Structure 1
Amino acid sequence: MSIDGRTAMKTGESKWITSKDSRQDVQIFRAKSSAILSSSTTIIHDNAQLTVRKKEFNSKILSKFPEKDFKHPIRVIIDSKNQMKKSHKIMHTKEKILLIRLKPDNELWPDNIKQIIIKPYKKKINIISTLKFLGNLEINNVWIEAGSTLSGSLLKMQLIDEIIIYIAPKILGHEAKPLFLLKNHLKLFECIKFNFVDFKKIGPDIRLILEPQKK
Protein backbone atom coordinates (compact mmCIF):
# COMPACT_ATOMS: atom_id res chain seq x y z
CA MET A 1 0.00 0.00 0.00
CA SER A 2 0.99 3.68 -0.18
CA ILE A 3 2.29 5.73 2.74
CA ASP A 4 -1.16 7.35 2.98
CA GLY A 5 -2.76 3.92 3.53
CA ARG A 6 -4.21 3.33 0.06
CA THR A 7 -4.22 0.03 -1.80
CA ALA A 8 -5.60 1.04 -5.21
CA MET A 9 -6.67 4.07 -7.19
CA LYS A 10 -10.34 5.07 -7.31
CA THR A 11 -10.59 3.18 -10.63
CA GLY A 12 -9.24 0.03 -8.96
CA GLU A 13 -5.84 0.28 -10.63
CA SER A 14 -3.19 -1.20 -8.32
CA LYS A 15 -0.43 -2.69 -10.51
CA TRP A 16 1.99 -1.98 -9.15
CA ILE A 17 2.09 0.08 -5.96
CA THR A 18 4.75 -1.99 -4.19
CA SER A 19 7.98 -3.29 -5.70
CA LYS A 20 8.91 -6.63 -7.23
CA ASP A 21 10.91 -7.33 -4.04
CA SER A 22 7.73 -7.07 -1.94
CA ARG A 23 5.74 -9.22 -4.34
CA GLN A 24 8.41 -11.92 -4.15
CA ASP A 25 8.35 -11.72 -0.35
CA VAL A 26 4.58 -12.29 -0.43
CA GLN A 27 5.20 -15.58 -2.23
CA ILE A 28 7.05 -16.91 0.82
CA PHE A 29 4.09 -16.16 3.10
CA ARG A 30 1.74 -17.78 0.59
CA ALA A 31 3.92 -20.88 0.55
CA LYS A 32 3.79 -21.13 4.36
CA SER A 33 -0.03 -20.98 4.41
CA SER A 34 -2.59 -23.78 4.34
CA ALA A 35 -5.06 -21.62 2.41
CA ILE A 36 -5.38 -18.24 0.72
CA LEU A 37 -8.67 -16.42 1.32
CA SER A 38 -9.99 -13.81 -1.10
CA SER A 39 -13.22 -12.59 -2.67
CA SER A 40 -14.53 -13.09 -6.18
CA THR A 41 -14.64 -9.31 -6.66
CA THR A 42 -10.91 -8.98 -5.93
CA ILE A 43 -9.94 -11.97 -8.07
CA ILE A 44 -12.01 -10.86 -11.06
CA HIS A 45 -10.73 -7.29 -10.90
CA ASP A 46 -7.07 -8.28 -10.52
CA ASN A 47 -7.31 -11.38 -12.74
CA ALA A 48 -5.46 -13.08 -9.87
CA GLN A 49 -4.45 -16.74 -9.65
CA LEU A 50 -3.28 -16.76 -5.99
CA THR A 51 -0.71 -19.47 -6.66
CA VAL A 52 2.78 -19.80 -5.18
CA ARG A 53 5.27 -18.80 -7.87
CA LYS A 54 8.17 -20.98 -6.74
CA LYS A 55 10.16 -20.09 -9.86
CA GLU A 56 10.70 -16.68 -8.26
CA PHE A 57 12.43 -18.25 -5.22
CA ASN A 58 16.21 -18.27 -4.96
CA SER A 59 18.02 -21.48 -3.98
CA LYS A 60 18.10 -20.57 -0.28
CA ILE A 61 14.32 -20.11 -0.13
CA LEU A 62 13.67 -23.18 -2.30
CA SER A 63 15.57 -25.30 0.20
CA LYS A 64 12.92 -24.45 2.81
CA PHE A 65 10.14 -25.82 0.57
CA PRO A 66 11.36 -29.20 -0.80
CA GLU A 67 9.28 -30.34 -3.74
CA LYS A 68 8.42 -33.75 -2.24
CA ASP A 69 6.83 -32.13 0.84
CA PHE A 70 5.43 -28.93 -0.64
CA LYS A 71 1.69 -28.46 -0.99
CA HIS A 72 0.17 -25.45 -2.70
CA PRO A 73 -2.28 -23.62 -0.44
CA ILE A 74 -5.97 -24.13 -1.12
CA ARG A 75 -7.59 -21.05 -2.71
CA VAL A 76 -10.76 -20.13 -0.80
CA ILE A 77 -12.98 -17.66 -2.66
CA ILE A 78 -15.93 -15.85 -1.07
CA ASP A 79 -18.40 -15.83 -3.97
CA SER A 80 -21.87 -15.00 -2.66
CA LYS A 81 -23.19 -13.92 -6.08
CA ASN A 82 -21.68 -16.84 -8.04
CA GLN A 83 -19.50 -14.49 -10.06
CA MET A 84 -16.68 -16.97 -10.65
CA LYS A 85 -16.89 -18.60 -14.08
CA LYS A 86 -14.83 -21.18 -15.95
CA SER A 87 -13.45 -18.40 -18.13
CA HIS A 88 -11.55 -16.77 -15.27
CA LYS A 89 -7.79 -17.31 -15.24
CA ILE A 90 -7.69 -18.80 -11.74
CA MET A 91 -10.03 -21.59 -12.85
CA HIS A 92 -7.43 -22.84 -15.32
CA THR A 93 -4.94 -23.67 -12.57
CA LYS A 94 -4.65 -27.23 -11.25
CA GLU A 95 -4.44 -26.45 -7.52
CA LYS A 96 -7.50 -26.88 -5.29
CA ILE A 97 -10.16 -24.15 -5.12
CA LEU A 98 -13.11 -23.86 -2.73
CA LEU A 99 -15.93 -21.60 -3.92
CA ILE A 100 -17.80 -20.39 -0.82
CA ARG A 101 -21.37 -19.72 -1.91
CA LEU A 102 -24.95 -19.29 -0.72
CA LYS A 103 -26.26 -21.63 -3.42
CA PRO A 104 -24.62 -23.80 -6.09
CA ASP A 105 -24.62 -23.13 -9.80
CA ASN A 106 -25.15 -25.75 -12.52
CA GLU A 107 -21.60 -25.70 -13.89
CA LEU A 108 -19.69 -28.97 -14.27
CA TRP A 109 -16.56 -27.96 -12.40
CA PRO A 110 -13.31 -29.96 -12.63
CA ASP A 111 -12.30 -32.14 -9.68
CA ASN A 112 -10.01 -29.52 -8.15
CA ILE A 113 -12.87 -26.99 -7.78
CA LYS A 114 -15.55 -27.54 -5.13
CA GLN A 115 -18.63 -25.48 -4.30
CA ILE A 116 -19.11 -25.11 -0.54
CA ILE A 117 -22.56 -23.90 0.51
CA ILE A 118 -22.62 -21.82 3.70
CA LYS A 119 -25.82 -20.74 5.42
CA PRO A 120 -26.31 -16.97 5.17
CA TYR A 121 -26.10 -14.39 7.93
CA LYS A 122 -28.12 -11.28 7.11
CA LYS A 123 -28.31 -12.49 3.48
CA LYS A 124 -24.51 -12.67 3.24
CA ILE A 125 -21.99 -15.47 3.59
CA ASN A 126 -21.33 -16.17 7.24
CA ILE A 127 -17.59 -15.60 7.59
CA ILE A 128 -17.37 -17.26 11.01
CA SER A 129 -19.10 -20.40 9.67
CA THR A 130 -16.69 -20.36 6.74
CA LEU A 131 -13.65 -20.25 9.03
CA LYS A 132 -15.12 -23.02 11.20
CA PHE A 133 -15.58 -25.11 8.06
CA LEU A 134 -11.92 -24.57 7.16
CA GLY A 135 -10.92 -25.45 10.72
CA ASN A 136 -12.79 -28.75 10.44
CA LEU A 137 -10.60 -29.48 7.40
CA GLU A 138 -7.55 -28.76 9.59
CA ILE A 139 -6.87 -25.57 7.63
CA ASN A 140 -5.57 -23.40 10.43
CA ASN A 141 -3.15 -20.99 8.74
CA VAL A 142 -5.13 -18.75 6.39
CA TRP A 143 -3.40 -16.03 4.37
CA ILE A 144 -5.81 -13.25 3.35
CA GLU A 145 -5.45 -11.27 0.14
CA ALA A 146 -8.64 -9.30 -0.24
CA GLY A 147 -10.12 -5.88 -0.85
CA SER A 148 -11.15 -3.36 1.77
CA THR A 149 -14.69 -4.73 2.27
CA LEU A 150 -13.77 -8.33 3.20
CA SER A 151 -10.67 -7.18 5.09
CA GLY A 152 -12.74 -4.65 7.01
CA SER A 153 -15.33 -7.28 7.94
CA LEU A 154 -12.65 -9.64 9.25
CA LEU A 155 -11.07 -6.83 11.25
CA LYS A 156 -14.38 -5.70 12.73
CA MET A 157 -15.19 -9.27 13.80
CA GLN A 158 -11.76 -9.60 15.43
CA LEU A 159 -10.85 -12.54 13.20
CA ILE A 160 -7.39 -11.27 12.28
CA ASP A 161 -4.43 -12.62 14.26
CA GLU A 162 -1.75 -10.74 12.35
CA ILE A 163 -1.43 -8.03 9.71
CA ILE A 164 1.47 -7.94 7.26
CA ILE A 165 1.69 -4.66 5.37
CA TYR A 166 4.05 -3.65 2.57
CA ILE A 167 4.36 0.13 2.35
CA ALA A 168 5.69 1.77 -0.81
CA PRO A 169 7.10 5.33 -0.71
CA LYS A 170 4.17 6.69 -2.72
CA ILE A 171 1.12 8.87 -2.08
CA LEU A 172 -2.12 8.04 -3.93
CA GLY A 173 -4.46 10.69 -2.49
CA HIS A 174 -7.71 10.66 -0.54
CA GLU A 175 -9.87 9.31 -3.38
CA ALA A 176 -7.84 6.09 -3.63
CA LYS A 177 -9.14 2.95 -1.93
CA PRO A 178 -8.28 2.24 1.73
CA LEU A 179 -6.79 -0.91 3.23
CA PHE A 180 -9.86 -1.51 5.42
CA LEU A 181 -13.44 -0.37 4.93
CA LEU A 182 -15.05 0.21 8.33
CA LYS A 183 -18.60 1.43 7.78
CA ASN A 184 -19.29 2.55 11.33
CA HIS A 185 -18.01 5.97 12.35
CA LEU A 186 -15.51 5.26 15.10
CA LYS A 187 -14.59 7.68 17.82
CA LEU A 188 -10.92 7.90 18.68
CA PHE A 189 -11.29 5.86 21.87
CA GLU A 190 -12.97 3.11 19.81
CA CYS A 191 -10.10 2.76 17.34
CA ILE A 192 -8.71 -0.72 16.70
CA LYS A 193 -5.23 -0.96 18.20
CA PHE A 194 -2.24 -3.06 17.17
CA ASN A 195 1.30 -3.70 18.35
CA PHE A 196 4.28 -3.60 16.01
CA VAL A 197 5.95 -7.03 15.96
CA ASP A 198 8.48 -6.68 13.14
CA PHE A 199 9.88 -4.06 10.78
CA LYS A 200 11.99 -4.85 7.69
CA LYS A 201 13.16 -3.03 4.58
CA ILE A 202 12.17 -4.98 1.46
CA GLY A 203 13.80 -3.36 -1.58
CA PRO A 204 12.47 0.23 -1.67
CA ASP A 205 9.48 -0.71 0.52
CA ILE A 206 8.92 -1.37 4.22
CA ARG A 207 7.28 -4.52 5.60
CA LEU A 208 5.43 -4.19 8.88
CA ILE A 209 4.05 -7.09 10.92
CA LEU A 210 1.45 -6.21 13.55
CA GLU A 211 -0.69 -8.10 16.05
CA PRO A 212 -3.92 -6.91 17.73
CA GLN A 213 -3.52 -5.48 21.19
CA LYS A 214 -4.97 -7.74 23.84
CA LYS A 215 -7.79 -6.12 25.77
Structure 2
Amino acid sequence: PAAGGIEQLRAAGVEVVVGVAETEVRWSNRAWLTAIQRQRPYLTWKFAATLDGRSAAADGSSRWITGTAARADVHRLRARHDAVMVGVGTVLADDPELTVRLPDSDGRDGQDEVHHPLRVVVDSSGRTPIQARIRQPQTPQSGAADTWIATASEVGGVDGRVDLAKLLAELFARGCRSVLLEGGPTLAGAALEAGLVDEVIAYLAPALLGAGAPALVGAGIHTISQALRLEVRDVQLIDTDVRIVGTLAAQNHRQGQV
Protein backbone atom coordinates (compact mmCIF):
# COMPACT_ATOMS: atom_id res chain seq x y z
CA PRO A 1 0.00 0.00 0.00
CA ALA A 2 2.49 2.60 -1.13
CA ALA A 3 1.52 6.09 -2.20
CA GLY A 4 2.03 5.73 -5.93
CA GLY A 5 5.80 6.11 -5.87
CA ILE A 6 6.43 3.52 -8.58
CA GLU A 7 3.97 5.18 -10.94
CA GLN A 8 5.56 8.58 -10.34
CA LEU A 9 9.03 7.25 -11.09
CA ARG A 10 7.88 5.51 -14.26
CA ALA A 11 6.05 8.63 -15.38
CA ALA A 12 9.33 10.51 -15.01
CA GLY A 13 11.07 8.01 -17.29
CA VAL A 14 12.82 6.04 -14.57
CA GLU A 15 13.01 2.28 -15.11
CA VAL A 16 11.61 0.51 -12.04
CA VAL A 17 12.23 -3.19 -11.38
CA VAL A 18 10.01 -4.77 -8.73
CA GLY A 19 10.27 -8.03 -6.81
CA VAL A 20 14.05 -7.93 -6.26
CA ALA A 21 14.94 -9.35 -2.82
CA GLU A 22 11.27 -8.93 -1.92
CA THR A 23 11.40 -11.19 1.15
CA GLU A 24 14.37 -9.35 2.63
CA VAL A 25 12.87 -5.94 1.88
CA ARG A 26 9.54 -6.86 3.44
CA TRP A 27 11.33 -8.03 6.59
CA SER A 28 13.36 -4.84 6.80
CA ASN A 29 10.20 -2.76 6.40
CA ARG A 30 7.89 -5.00 8.41
CA ALA A 31 6.93 -2.33 10.95
CA TRP A 32 5.86 0.25 8.39
CA LEU A 33 4.11 -2.29 6.14
CA THR A 34 2.16 -3.81 9.04
CA ALA A 35 1.19 -0.40 10.40
CA ILE A 36 -0.16 0.79 7.06
CA GLN A 37 -2.01 -2.47 6.37
CA ARG A 38 -3.58 -2.85 9.83
CA GLN A 39 -3.85 0.81 10.81
CA ARG A 40 -2.04 0.14 14.07
CA PRO A 41 1.62 0.03 15.09
CA TYR A 42 3.72 -3.10 14.66
CA LEU A 43 3.90 -4.53 18.19
CA THR A 44 7.00 -6.33 19.44
CA TRP A 45 6.99 -8.02 22.84
CA LYS A 46 10.41 -8.10 24.45
CA PHE A 47 11.15 -10.02 27.62
CA ALA A 48 14.08 -11.37 29.60
CA ALA A 49 13.87 -14.66 31.46
CA THR A 50 15.82 -17.53 32.90
CA LEU A 51 15.86 -20.88 31.13
CA ASP A 52 12.93 -22.00 33.29
CA GLY A 53 10.86 -19.00 32.19
CA ARG A 54 11.17 -16.78 35.26
CA SER A 55 11.32 -12.99 35.00
CA ALA A 56 11.92 -12.50 38.74
CA ALA A 57 12.94 -14.56 41.75
CA ALA A 58 10.59 -15.68 44.51
CA ASP A 59 11.47 -12.58 46.56
CA GLY A 60 10.62 -10.30 43.64
CA SER A 61 14.21 -9.41 42.73
CA SER A 62 14.95 -9.23 39.01
CA ARG A 63 18.10 -7.12 38.58
CA TRP A 64 19.75 -8.45 36.70
CA ILE A 65 18.62 -11.62 34.93
CA THR A 66 20.63 -10.96 31.78
CA GLY A 67 24.12 -9.56 31.39
CA THR A 68 25.44 -6.16 30.43
CA ALA A 69 25.69 -6.92 26.71
CA ALA A 70 22.07 -8.08 26.48
CA ARG A 71 20.85 -5.01 28.35
CA ALA A 72 22.80 -2.76 25.98
CA ASP A 73 21.13 -4.57 23.09
CA VAL A 74 17.73 -3.73 24.60
CA HIS A 75 18.62 -0.03 24.61
CA ARG A 76 19.46 -0.23 20.92
CA LEU A 77 16.14 -1.99 20.39
CA ARG A 78 14.27 0.81 22.18
CA ALA A 79 15.96 3.40 20.00
CA ARG A 80 14.53 1.72 16.88
CA HIS A 81 10.91 2.04 18.05
CA ASP A 82 8.46 4.92 18.08
CA ALA A 83 7.07 4.01 21.50
CA VAL A 84 7.87 1.72 24.41
CA MET A 85 5.02 0.37 26.53
CA VAL A 86 4.67 -1.17 30.00
CA GLY A 87 1.84 -1.91 32.39
CA VAL A 88 1.31 -0.04 35.64
CA GLY A 89 2.32 -3.18 37.54
CA THR A 90 5.83 -2.90 36.10
CA VAL A 91 5.96 0.77 37.06
CA LEU A 92 4.92 0.03 40.64
CA ALA A 93 7.32 -2.90 40.98
CA ASP A 94 10.43 -1.59 39.20
CA ASP A 95 10.00 2.20 38.75
CA PRO A 96 11.69 2.08 35.32
CA GLU A 97 12.83 5.13 33.35
CA LEU A 98 12.50 3.46 29.93
CA THR A 99 15.08 5.82 28.50
CA VAL A 100 17.66 4.97 25.85
CA ARG A 101 21.23 4.83 27.09
CA LEU A 102 23.70 3.64 24.49
CA PRO A 103 27.34 2.78 25.19
CA ASP A 104 30.09 5.02 23.85
CA SER A 105 31.11 2.18 21.54
CA ASP A 106 28.00 2.93 19.48
CA GLY A 107 29.78 6.03 18.21
CA ARG A 108 27.54 8.65 19.79
CA ASP A 109 28.68 11.58 21.90
CA GLY A 110 26.21 11.72 24.77
CA GLN A 111 22.50 11.37 24.05
CA ASP A 112 22.00 14.19 21.51
CA GLU A 113 21.73 11.88 18.49
CA VAL A 114 19.74 9.12 20.18
CA HIS A 115 16.07 8.62 19.37
CA HIS A 116 13.99 8.39 22.55
CA PRO A 117 10.62 6.68 22.00
CA LEU A 118 7.38 7.84 23.55
CA ARG A 119 6.91 6.12 26.92
CA VAL A 120 3.45 4.60 27.41
CA VAL A 121 2.03 3.23 30.66
CA VAL A 122 -1.12 1.11 30.44
CA ASP A 123 -2.88 2.22 33.63
CA SER A 124 -6.65 1.72 33.64
CA SER A 125 -7.33 3.41 36.98
CA GLY A 126 -4.52 5.96 37.15
CA ARG A 127 -2.28 4.29 39.74
CA THR A 128 1.04 5.56 38.37
CA PRO A 129 2.66 7.56 41.20
CA ILE A 130 3.30 11.25 40.62
CA GLN A 131 6.94 10.72 41.60
CA ALA A 132 7.46 7.74 39.26
CA ARG A 133 10.62 8.09 37.19
CA ILE A 134 8.70 7.44 33.99
CA ARG A 135 6.73 10.65 34.61
CA GLN A 136 9.81 12.83 34.83
CA PRO A 137 10.14 15.38 32.01
CA GLN A 138 12.88 15.35 29.43
CA THR A 139 16.20 16.84 30.49
CA PRO A 140 19.62 16.98 28.81
CA GLN A 141 20.84 14.54 31.45
CA SER A 142 18.05 11.96 31.26
CA GLY A 143 17.33 12.25 27.56
CA ALA A 144 13.83 10.96 28.33
CA ALA A 145 11.02 11.34 25.84
CA ASP A 146 7.42 12.29 26.51
CA THR A 147 5.19 10.02 28.58
CA TRP A 148 1.56 9.02 28.07
CA ILE A 149 -0.28 7.45 31.00
CA ALA A 150 -3.03 5.65 29.06
CA THR A 151 -6.13 5.33 31.26
CA ALA A 152 -9.56 3.82 30.76
CA SER A 153 -11.06 7.30 30.55
CA GLU A 154 -9.16 7.81 27.28
CA VAL A 155 -9.02 4.37 25.66
CA GLY A 156 -11.29 2.25 27.82
CA GLY A 157 -13.41 -0.75 26.94
CA VAL A 158 -16.82 -1.86 28.11
CA ASP A 159 -15.54 -3.15 31.46
CA GLY A 160 -13.71 0.01 32.43
CA ARG A 161 -10.22 -1.22 31.59
CA VAL A 162 -7.84 -0.06 28.90
CA ASP A 163 -8.68 -1.55 25.51
CA LEU A 164 -5.37 -2.41 23.87
CA ALA A 165 -6.75 -2.24 20.34
CA LYS A 166 -8.02 1.30 21.00
CA LEU A 167 -4.71 2.24 22.58
CA LEU A 168 -2.75 1.05 19.55
CA ALA A 169 -5.16 2.85 17.23
CA GLU A 170 -4.55 6.06 19.16
CA LEU A 171 -0.79 5.55 18.97
CA PHE A 172 -1.12 5.06 15.22
CA ALA A 173 -3.07 8.32 15.01
CA ARG A 174 -0.20 9.99 16.88
CA GLY A 175 2.26 8.81 14.25
CA CYS A 176 3.66 5.71 15.97
CA ARG A 177 4.38 2.87 13.56
CA SER A 178 6.29 0.56 15.94
CA VAL A 179 5.79 -0.16 19.63
CA LEU A 180 8.05 -2.17 21.95
CA LEU A 181 6.10 -3.90 24.71
CA GLU A 182 8.44 -4.47 27.66
CA GLY A 183 6.10 -5.74 30.34
CA GLY A 184 4.75 -6.98 32.44
CA PRO A 185 3.57 -10.56 32.06
CA THR A 186 -0.13 -9.72 32.45
CA LEU A 187 -0.04 -6.98 29.81
CA ALA A 188 1.88 -9.26 27.46
CA GLY A 189 -0.70 -11.99 27.98
CA ALA A 190 -3.56 -9.61 27.19
CA ALA A 191 -1.84 -8.39 24.03
CA LEU A 192 -1.19 -11.95 22.87
CA GLU A 193 -4.74 -13.04 23.63
CA ALA A 194 -6.05 -10.08 21.63
CA GLY A 195 -3.93 -11.10 18.63
CA LEU A 196 -2.03 -7.81 18.67
CA VAL A 197 1.56 -9.07 19.02
CA ASP A 198 3.48 -9.32 15.75
CA GLU A 199 6.97 -10.18 16.97
CA VAL A 200 8.59 -11.64 20.08
CA ILE A 201 12.18 -11.01 21.18
CA ALA A 202 13.34 -13.17 24.07
CA TYR A 203 16.57 -12.70 25.99
CA LEU A 204 17.28 -15.96 27.80
CA ALA A 205 19.86 -16.14 30.56
CA PRO A 206 21.72 -19.38 31.38
CA ALA A 207 20.23 -19.48 34.87
CA LEU A 208 17.51 -21.31 36.79
CA LEU A 209 15.31 -19.87 39.56
CA GLY A 210 12.82 -22.65 40.24
CA ALA A 211 10.20 -20.21 41.52
CA GLY A 212 9.17 -16.62 41.03
CA ALA A 213 7.21 -14.54 38.54
CA PRO A 214 6.73 -16.09 35.10
CA ALA A 215 7.55 -14.16 31.95
CA LEU A 216 3.98 -14.56 30.69
CA VAL A 217 0.59 -14.71 32.39
CA GLY A 218 -2.65 -15.59 30.66
CA ALA A 219 -2.75 -15.22 26.88
CA GLY A 220 -5.92 -17.34 26.82
CA ILE A 221 -3.96 -20.58 26.59
CA HIS A 222 -5.33 -23.60 28.47
CA THR A 223 -4.01 -26.62 26.60
CA ILE A 224 -1.00 -27.50 24.47
CA SER A 225 -3.04 -27.35 21.28
CA GLN A 226 -3.59 -23.63 21.93
CA ALA A 227 0.12 -22.85 22.12
CA LEU A 228 1.13 -19.83 20.05
CA ARG A 229 3.80 -21.07 17.67
CA LEU A 230 6.43 -18.68 16.37
CA GLU A 231 8.44 -18.64 13.19
CA VAL A 232 12.03 -18.24 14.35
CA ARG A 233 13.72 -15.43 12.45
CA ASP A 234 17.02 -15.13 14.26
CA VAL A 235 19.01 -16.68 17.11
CA GLN A 236 22.13 -15.01 18.45
CA LEU A 237 24.45 -15.46 21.38
CA ILE A 238 25.00 -12.14 23.16
CA ASP A 239 27.86 -12.76 25.53
CA THR A 240 26.41 -15.50 27.77
CA ASP A 241 22.74 -14.82 26.94
CA VAL A 242 20.70 -16.02 23.97
CA ARG A 243 18.45 -13.71 21.94
CA ILE A 244 15.64 -15.33 19.97
CA VAL A 245 13.54 -13.36 17.48
CA GLY A 246 10.28 -14.84 16.23
CA THR A 247 7.11 -13.70 14.51
CA LEU A 248 3.53 -14.68 15.18
CA ALA A 249 1.00 -15.51 12.52
CA ALA A 250 -1.97 -13.15 12.41
CA GLN A 251 -4.33 -14.02 15.25
CA ASN A 252 -8.05 -13.43 15.48
CA HIS A 253 -8.51 -10.03 17.06
CA ARG A 254 -10.34 -10.24 20.34
CA GLN A 255 -11.19 -7.64 22.95
CA GLY A 256 -7.83 -7.04 24.62
CA GLN A 257 -8.41 -5.24 27.89
CA VAL A 258 -6.24 -4.93 30.99
Place the TM-score, normalised by the shorter chain, in its bin: 0.7 to 0.9
Cα pair 1:19 1:204 within 8 Å, conserved:
yes
In structure 2, the partner of 1:48 is 96
In structure 1, the partner of 2:195 is 158
Is the alpha carbon distance of 1:187 and 1:50 closer, same or farther for their aligned partners in structure 2, counting shifts above 3 Å?
A: same
In structure 2, the partner of 1:120 is 157
| Whole-Å separation in 1 of the counterparts to 2:98 and 2:198 | 21
| Whole-Å separation in 2 of the counterparts to 1:147 and 1:37 | 9
Relative to the length of structure 1, the TM-score reads 0.84
* Superposition map of 1:198-209 within 5 A: 198-209=234-245
In structure 2, the partner of 1:12 is 60
- Larger mean CA deviation between 120-129 and 131-140 belongs to 120-129
In structure 2, the partner of 1:110 is none
Shift of residue 86 of structure 1? 2.2
CA RMSD of aligned residues (A): 2.1
| Whole-Å separation in 2 of the counterparts to 1:162 and 1:184 | 18
- Using the aligned pairs only, state the percent identity: 26
Give unmatched runs, 5+ long, in structure 1.
104-116
Relative to the length of structure 2, the TM-score reads 0.71
Structure 2 residue aligned with 1:99, among 149, 156, 179?
149
Cα pair 2:190 2:219 within 8 Å, conserved:
no
Structure ranking higher in strand proportion? 1
| Whole-Å separation in 1 of the counterparts to 2:248 and 2:106 | 34
Bigger Rg, which one: 2
The AA in structure 1 aligned to 2:69 is D
Structure 2 residue aligned with 1:193, among 213, 216, 229?
229
The AA in structure 2 aligned to 1:38 is V
| Whole-Å separation in 1 of the counterparts to 2:206 and 2:99 | 27
Is the alpha carbon distance of 1:101 and 1:208 closer, same or farther for their aligned partners in structure 2, counting shifts above 3 Å?
A: same
In structure 1, the partner of 2:130 is 86
SS at match of 2:167: helix
Deviations 1:23-82 (A, max 9, x none): 00000000001000111210221110000013x24144x39x9945x4310001111121
Structure 2 residue aligned with 1:170, among 207, 211, 227?
207
Give unmatched runs, 5+ long, in structure 2.
1-48, 139-144, 252-258
Is the alpha carbon distance of 1:211 and 1:184 closer, same or farther for their aligned partners in structure 2, counting shifts above 3 Å?
A: closer
| Whole-Å separation in 1 of the counterparts to 2:156 and 2:190 | 17
* Superposition map of 1:9-88 within 5 A: 9-54=57-102, 56-60=103-107, 62=108, 67=112, 70-88=114-132
> Following superposition, which runs of at least 4 residues in structure 1 exceed 6 angstroms of deviation?
none
In structure 1, the partner of 2:174 is 137
| Whole-Å separation in 2 of the counterparts to 1:66 and 1:102 | 34
Structure ranking higher in helix proportion? 2
